[in-house]
Chain A
């Protein structure tokens, strides 16, 4: 077993958990699922720069080699953006819950009419 396999399977596990949770019927699970998918994707992107140990992307006289800094730079902003996204959808879920009284993701017949009328009345 090599480190590559460990990282690959960890990414796979986080993806699977994320996919399963995003397919659930309540908003909170979907939010958590999206967060799990974000982890998986961020690690995936870093891994495309190949696994490198003890070779940081900081120029110094003593360094023996450098890791690929480009995926890291891309992922750094991705982490912050995915925070923004998580914050947005969690607030969206919260607003939907406060307005409609349910945190279901899908509109079923009764939920739809209820949420619809409340939502319409909620606009200022």
Chain B
């Protein structure tokens, strides 16, 4: 459980900075620091077990079928990385408190930082590769937010995008690689995969898996040729650069190579791919770093170079090289993070980080200069600092490694890399802090507040301490970590400064001297560099992304040209093709089910329906006529439902029919009344062919279905309707009980549709549509008597009757045809008739319901009825029923499903009324007069004079 808390704490804690920023910046930083400190303390409680060589595990099943489980484990390697992430995180939080300017939103910064921290800790403690991948992508996302933190800077936004594109692409490749790995090992647990090293190396899929995983590692750790994103990510605030791009995120790739070292390393492919990539990266990045004038650019390239160094060491595939790699990760984190912080201080205090405009700062800011000098010399590999120790080990290993049968090439190139490395380190120290003091710094520089220089001082203290007494401070940790990486016995380890006269010592001396020489002749070498071709990675990246986007646009525009008719034609064509192909592969013998004889009335109905279908196609240009024909179709369908023993459907269909026709009429009021001829005859022929084939196919399909017998699951519903559901109308019982969940979802959909209609038209009333409406001229002749007296009187008399019918249909629904859906439609219609007969203005003032709320109450009523089952300890929507005896009435049955049906009823009424009332509201924006009286020519005696005055 502790392990899970170490990962979860930063994620939960990410809520705090945003809340506490109101209490001030100190409170915000303290809370962030406290969260990190707590996680670190929890981690340290695991230390005794880890140093005893144990592996602590925690496990929860998540999706065991997929092999995705929440499992964490901590061994030496995980402990080391988690410790690094949390310790440096703590220092960065303190540093950032003083670094961020007053106008920077600090809460946001710390929230992102904690998200990132949690994701990083998640990577290093996951024991499941799929879980690891989730955290891996989370680091890409949170680092995107952090790099682009200064949203106003275009470099920040572009850098963030580039970093995300490159690392996320690698992450995708890695997912595939991890899946292959898990497939070979038969488990996605890392501890399990690590046991199958031999099987994985022997598998034919080893090479693809290796390449895919390395793609993820190399992009994350900025290895050549994916190194270009890291320098561009330097647009981030310096604390971010120090944290993500020196100590943690870029080391995630190294971590993974170390984690999977036992299963992937040791083959020829591994050696040549990993060691060569590392070597090339180390040399090229160091060369570029030497000529970067931007301090952060210099440090960024130097980071790439050092990452290459560690990659190369892991690539060698020998245990002792792995030890050196792990040791260098620790050393690099200490000196590089300190250097980034000093670069931030210089930028903060002088207003520039251009090396050409700096120099002589040692006298002005002595503390910063001391920190930077010690850390810089460690980076250069000068004894007795920690950078010297691990670089010595690297040179020693490369001196013993043969590359393609050539014993010279590796040591030579490694020494060359070391020369460049020494040179840029010297440059960082001497060109910034030493030399002649200048008087044209943008600001007057002095040492910053302790909050900014204490964190790097602590790191530099470590740099010196590890360098002087490595056996005391670093050796126990490195032994545990390297043991976890190698997963086997380690060679005897002696971390010390003096190994005697070795080849590595000679190479070190050459590197230091060469570095000094390069710095002395820096200008001359710069001219050589300028003469060489220098491919610009950003241009190539932008060109690639631009090309891909253009290709995607061409592809999308080609398919998606804005023609709905074309999409639909494709859709119908594709559906027909697939359907017919599937149909042809089955058998189509005539069915065994005895045919139903035809009597006279159905035949007439059929003729009418066929005629109406033909007519609707022929007359569809006359829209009013089309509506009438559509009504005929709907009517025959309703009657057909009655004939085919579906009374509920008939009732629903007929009421929906009325509502739909009114709705379409209201809409048609504002739409053109005719459809012009536009399609070419060829197009019409094509559409007719598609339509004809569709019709014939559907006919054939359903005919074959209907002539076959089948077994239905409905026997259960029929048998249980009365005993379990308490109702005899099985259709209604299915709706409100057996399949209540479906119905619950459906009324929500209906409610959403109604609200969308409201939003669509409400928005229209604030846009250019208002103008079109205001200038709208009725294109049809209007009756002078807009609200005929007979209709007004009839509808008013009918309102109570219709409401009673609605209630009756609702109440009987459980046992006889009816129910909430139908009752809702009927009641909705009763109200609508008032609107139609007496006009919107008159009706609205009398029907003061909030129809929107009705939808909401309906859904709530249905939900509460369903949830009430929980009180009885049953699942959601379990229903119950009992018998009730009220005075003057017979004993009757009451089912809880009635409450659910009430919800359905309310939602349907609300949805119908919202849709239609919204449409009628449009009319009020036209010039048409608004009705205030129920009828235009009232037969009532004129009101007395005083009464009329009162009313006004």
Contact = CB atoms under 8 A, between A and B. Distances in A.
A111 to B, nearest CB: 9
Interface range on chain A (Cβ under 8 Å from partner): 35 or more
B645 A84 contact: no
B637 A43 contact: yes
Contact of A48 (B565, B668, B705): B705
B915 A91 contact: yes
B86 interface: no
A8 B712 contact: no
A83 B660 contact: yes
B659 interface: yes
Contacts of A3: 595-598, 602
Given A47-B705, A97-B671, A91 B760 contact: yes
Nearest to B713: A70
Interface residues of B, number: 118
A46 B756 contact: no
Interface string B769-791: 10011000000000000000000
A11 B702 contact: yes
A95 B764 contact: yes
Contact of A80 (B563, B817, B908): B908
Contacts of B646: 46, 56-57, 67, 72, 75
Contacts of B597: 2-3
Contacts of A77: 735, 742-743, 746, 821
B660 A29 contact: no
B718 interface: yes
Contacts of B609: 10, 13-14
B911 A94 contact: no
Contacts of A24: 565, 620, 675, 679, 687
A32 B204 CA distance: 59
A25 B678 contact: yes
Contact of A8 (B688, B703, B922): B703
Contacts of B697: 12
Given A3-B602, A32-B620, A59 B596 contact: no
Interface in B674-709: 675-676, 678-679, 687-688, 690-692, 694-700, 702-703, 705-707, 709
Interface string A63-97: 00011111011111101111111111011111101
B947 to A, nearest CB: 41
B703 A72 contact: no
Interface string A22-57: 111111111110011001101110111111111111
B500 interface: no
Interface stretch (B72-80, B525-533, B726-734, B864-872): B726-734
Contacts of B713: 70
A51 to B, nearest CB: 5
B721 A59 contact: yes
A57 B730 contact: yes
Name the residue in A18, A39, A46, A107 with the highest tally of chain B Cβ atoms < 10 Å from its Cβ: A39
Given A11-B699, A69-B734, A91-B757, A22 B647 contact: no
Contacts of A87: 660, 663, 753-754, 757, 915
Residue among A66, A91, A122, A124 having the largest count of chain B Cβ atoms under 10 Å? A91
Identify whether the interface residues of B are mostly helix, strand, loop, or mixed.
helix
Interface in B626-646: 626-627, 630, 633-634, 637, 640-641, 643-646
A66 B734 CA distance: 15
A72 B649 contact: yes
B768 A6 contact: no
Contact of B675 (A8, A29, A72): A29
A103 B645 contact: no
A28 B675 contact: yes
A53 B647 CA distance: 11
A76 B617 CA distance: 27
B702 A47 contact: yes
B598 A2 contact: yes
Contacts of B586: none
B633 to A, nearest CB: 6
Contacts of B760: 88, 91-92, 95
B717 interface: yes
A112 B730 contact: no
B820 to A, nearest CB: 10
Contacts of B477: none
Contact of A76 (B569, B652, B663): B652
Contacts of A11: 698-699, 702
A39 B610 CA distance: 13
Q: Which of A15, A83, A88, A118 has the most CB of B within 10 A?
A: A83
Given A21-B616, A55-B645, A76 B562 contact: no
B653 interface: yes
B564 A106 contact: yes
A118 to B, nearest CB: 6
B613 to A, nearest CB: 4
B664 interface: yes
A42 B634 CA distance: 11
B344 to A, nearest CB: 43
A122 B620 CA distance: 31
A110 B816 CA distance: 57
Contacts of A101: 772
B222 to A, nearest CB: 42
Interface in B234-269: none
By Cβ-Cβ distance, the 9 closest A-B pairs, closest first, are A16-B695, A12-B699, A122-B767, A2-B595, A98-B769, A84-B753, A20-B691, A8-B703, A107-B562
25 contacts: A8-B700, A9-B699, A10-B610, A15-B691, A16-B692, A21-B617, A23-B690, A26-B672, A26-B676, A28-B675, A42-B649, A50-B709, A52-B645, A58-B816, A69-B734, A73-B731, A76-B731, A79-B653, A81-B749, A81-B750, A86-B663, A91-B918, A95-B769, A105-B565, A122-B767
Interface of B: 562-566, 568-569, 572, 593, 595-598, 602-603, 606, 609-610, 613-614, 616-617, 620, 623, 626-627, 630, 633-634, 637, 640-641, 643-649, 652-653, 656, 659-660, 663-664, 667-668, 670-672, 675-676, 678-679, 687-688, 690-692, 694-700, 702-703, 705-707, 709-710, 712-714, 717-718, 721-722, 728-731, 734-735, 739, 742-743, 746, 749-750, 753-754, 756-757, 760-761, 763-764, 766-769, 772-773, 815-817, 821, 825, 908, 911, 915, 918-919, 922
Given A83-B660, A105-B565, 11 more contacts: A24-B687, A25-B678, A28-B672, A32-B620, A42-B637, A59-B722, A79-B656, A80-B750, A84-B750, A94-B922, A95-B764
